Amino acid sequence: MYRVTSATAADLFDITATRRIERAAAAALPAHTLMQRAGLAVARLAMAVAPHARTVWIACGPGNNGGDGFEAAAQLRQRGFMPVVTFAGDADRLPPDAKASLQRARDAQVIFAQEPPTDYELTIDALLGIGATRPPEGVMVEWLQEMDASGQPVLSVDVPSGLNADTGVLSRRISADARTPRVCLTFLTLKPGLFTANGRDAAGTVWFDDLGCDKHAEPPTARLAGRPKAPRRTHASHKGSYGDVAVIGGAPGMAGAALLAGSAALHAGAGRVFVGLLDPSAAPVDTAQPELMLRDGHTLDLSDMTAVCGCGGGTAIRAALPRVLTTAAALVLDADALNAIAADSALQMQLVSRAQRGQPTVITPHPLEAARLLGYAASDVQADRLAAARQLATRFGVVAVLKGSGTVIAADGDASPVINLTGNAKLATAGTGDVLAGMIGAALAAKQSPFEAACEAVWRHGHVADTWPADAAPLTAGTLARQAPV
């Protein structure tokens, strides 16, 4: 059993793949073995999460997820805890493994009740796992609401009930005021839905137990990339070794966004950074960051540069795009550049033809920008973030970075998409996206592969927010841009 952190590199498997792995694992072991191992693992983690607990409320559902709960109840009872089980199901219709575990819980003198206990120190959510076919209803909803509001730790078995393990869509809203600490112990595979969309809020800290079944040949659905290697510079390197970045953006009134991207590219290690502003009346120098070379965004030669295009671009970016799309050696497209491309099929064709010419492009949409590019609603993008990122990558021949909680990075081709585990809501402030675009630009300019450049920059950007002290002033985009790579 191990705890998943942002440093963890691991494969993720959707429900269909997990089912195949589960069937193969079950076939290789004596009956009931997997559930016994799962229940024991839940009991062990419960004791670690709440060693002081006396009463543990275990909410069990109608399938094998409930079976894991019965098994954990039996184990906890044998260790002197007072588990109280509420069961939302029919004992006669339980699958065989779960039925056997129900009997073991009864034999261990576990208390069964109709209602949750009045006082308890830990809840185990064993209502629904990967077999959930529809959102929870009836008494399950009541119990889940009680858990959310209890303030006591919740340990979700395999998957938080109501969470789609493939997409991270949760059937209910968890209030931002809820102070309930959450852990999730997931079995056999790590599932993508635990790490994106609502998955992070619903699952809390994720623990993984392979139940002794670590060998299988199933291809992954997605990956956690883990901590990137620290950047190294050879002694004899020079500024040309790290490439040129040109930020194209900063329409009248929006120079700040372009300067933020430029500052981020500079601090992320680019050899030289130009900022091509689209505001003819812009000042000739940024005195706060004099290393940035300010130029006219419409005329800057991009043929040997990595362009970062769109930050604060406004409507002026439209006129600059045909030249940027055809000439930039490598390209990061953000914000208004993406909105302009979404509205113009000729620009879309120019974007697609970049890949055919071997000119790499990374796009960095947030969900609404992704929705515009795909012709969907933002809610459709959020309903399946992995699928949306893959579609963007394939349709435009790019590396797509779909931002938000659990940023997804997908490439056109066979590579599994990556879900990034760094970052938090401290980044939910204006300008942090411009900073990310600049950081990716610097990584591309240093000749990293576009997919690697995007994954590493997204990781580092989020890591700054993760390590930002809780008692420090809020993390602004300007401060974020000035952090050196880790």
Ligand X SMILES: NC(=O)C1=CN([C@@H]2O[C@H](COP(=O)(O)OP(=O)(O)OC[C@H]3O[C@@H](n4cnc5c(N)ncnc54)[C@H](O)[C@@H]3O)[C@@H](O)[C@H]2O)[C@@H](O)CC1
Ligand Y SMILES: Nc1ncnc2c1ncn2[C@@H]1O[C@H](COP(=O)(O)OP(=O)(O)O)[C@@H](O)[C@H]1O
- HEC letters along the chain: CEECCCCCEEEECCHHHHHHHHHHHHHCCCCCHHHHHHHHHHHHHHHHHCCCCCEEEEEECCCHHHHHHHHHHHHHHHCCCEEEEEECCCHHHCCHHHHHHHHHHHHCCCEEECCCCCCCCEEEEECCCCCCCCCCCCHHHHHHHHHHHHCCCEEEECCCCCECCCCCCECCCCCCCCCCCEEEEEECCECHHHCCCCHHHHHCEEEEECCCCCCCCCCCCEEEECCCCCCCCCCCCCHHHHCEEEEEECCCCCHHHHHHHHHHHHHCCCCEEEEEECCCCCCCCCCCCCCCEEEECCCCCCCCCEEEECCCCHHHHHHHHHHHHHHCCEEEECHHHHHHHHCCHHHHHHHHHHHHCCCCEEECCCHHHHHHHHCCCHHHHHHCHHHHHHHHHHHHCCEEEECCCCCEEEECCCCCCEECCCCCHHHCCCCHHHHHHHHHHHHHHCCCCHHHHHHHHHHHHHHHHHCCCCCCCCCCHHHHHCCCCC
Q: Which partner from the list K ion, ligand Y, ligand X, none does 445 bind, CB cut-off 5 to 8 Å by kind?
A: none
CB 124 within 8 A of CB 157: yes
Give the separation between CA 301 and CA 283, rounded to whole angstroms: 20
CB of 141 to K ion, least distance (A): 14
Region from 130-138, 173-181, 314-322, 415-423 binding ligand X, contact rule CB under 6 A: 130-138
The answer to whether 183 contacts ligand X (rule: CB under 6 A) is no
Residue selected from 20, 424, 484, 486 as contacting ligand Y according to rule CB under 6 A:
424
Identify which of residues 397 and 433 has a Cβ nearer to ligand Y in the complex: 433
Give the separation between CA 469 and CA 401, rounded to whole angstroms: 27
Identify which of residues 64 and 198 has a Cβ nearer to ligand X in the complex: 64
The answer to whether 434 contacts ligand Y (rule: CB under 6 A) is yes
Identify which of residues 50 and 140 has a Cβ nearer to ligand X in the complex: 140
Identify which of residues 67 and 313 has a Cβ nearer to ligand X in the complex: 67
Site string for ligand Y, 360-399 (x = CB under 6 A): ------x---------------------------------
CB 94 within 8 A of CB 18: no
CB of 207 to ligand X, least distance (A): 13
Q: Which partner from the list K ion, ligand X, ligand Y, none does 202 bind, CB cut-off 5 to 8 Å by kind?
A: none
Residue selected from 36, 123, 167, 432 as contacting ligand Y according to rule CB under 6 A:
432
Region from 83-91, 419-427, 440-448, 468-476 binding ligand Y, contact rule CB under 6 A: 419-427
Residue selected from 428, 447, 467, 484 as contacting ligand Y according to rule CB under 6 A:
428
The answer to whether 294 contacts ligand X (rule: CB under 6 A) is no
Does 161 appear as a known binding residue? yes
Region from 56-64, 191-199, 373-381, 457-465 binding ligand X, contact rule CB under 6 A: 56-64
Region from 65-73, 261-269, 451-459, 476-484 binding ligand X, contact rule CB under 6 A: 65-73
CB of 102 to ligand X, least distance (A): 13
The answer to whether 285 contacts ligand Y (rule: CB under 6 A) is no
Identify which of residues 86 and 156 has a Cβ nearer to K ion in the complex: 156
Region from 25-33, 106-114, 124-132, 374-382 binding K ion, contact rule CB under 5 A: 124-132
CB of 68 to ligand X, least distance (A): 5
Residue selected from 24, 106, 131, 149 as contacting ligand X according to rule CB under 6 A:
131
CB 308 within 8 A of CB 244: no
Residue selected from 18, 101, 161, 198 as contacting K ion according to rule CB under 5 A:
161
The answer to whether 132 contacts ligand X (rule: CB under 6 A) is yes
Does 228 appear as a known binding residue? no
Report residue 157 as tokens.
């078995």
Does 193 appear as a known binding residue? no
Does 433 appear as a known binding residue? yes
Residue selected from 189, 405, 448, 483 as contacting ligand Y according to rule CB under 6 A:
405
Does 281 appear as a known binding residue? no
Identify which of residues 39 and 271 has a Cβ nearer to K ion in the complex: 39
Binding footprint of ligand X on the chain (CB under 6 A):
22, 26, 34-35, 38, 61-66, 68, 95, 97, 128-137, 140, 157-159, 187
Binding footprint of ligand Y on the chain (CB under 6 A):
335, 366, 403-405, 407, 423-425, 427-428, 430-434, 436
